[in-house]
Amino acid sequence: MQPGGQPDMAMILQQAQKMQEQLMTAQQELAEAEVTGQAGNGLVRVTQTAAGEVRSVQIDPKVVDPEDVEMLQDLLVGAIQDAARAAQELQAEKMGPLTGGLGDLGGGFGLPGA
């Protein structure tokens, strides 16, 4: 803080710009990072980016039964949900430290949410 209790606005703006750059870098990493979800002990696997874009689906021929399409559908849903969970974990790992610091911007300056 500057004398008189006023926040150093240049410092706050510099911190905000640095945080924005870090967030953009983390978002780019998440768009490229891949996670894999599985169901049925790996009989069905879904690979997607951490940003949610499905890249591939692998189905073991053992689970392709024309008489039991519902089982295959359930396995696909399970694998997609597992991949989504893995993506959320990776997002929290990459973004958590950055977004957790947003409250620090107010740092005792009496700003809302601080």
CATH number of the domain where residue 82 is located: 3.30.1310.10
Q: What is the domain range of residue 93? A: 34-98
pLDDT in tens, the chain (114 residues): 555 667 788 888 888 898 888 888 888 888 889 999 999 999 999 999 988 899 999 999 999 999 999 999 999 999 999 999 999 999 888 887 776 655 544 444 444 444
Residue whose structure tokens are 């189905």: 59
Asked if residue 12 is part of any domain, the answer here is no
Domains in the chain, number: 1
Asked if residue 20 is part of any domain, the answer here is no
- Count CB-CB contacts under 10 A for residue 82: 18
Asked if residue 75 is part of any domain, the answer here is yes
- Given this model, what pLDDT does residue 1 score? 52
Asked if residue 69 is part of any domain, the answer here is yes
d(CA 114, CA 105): 7
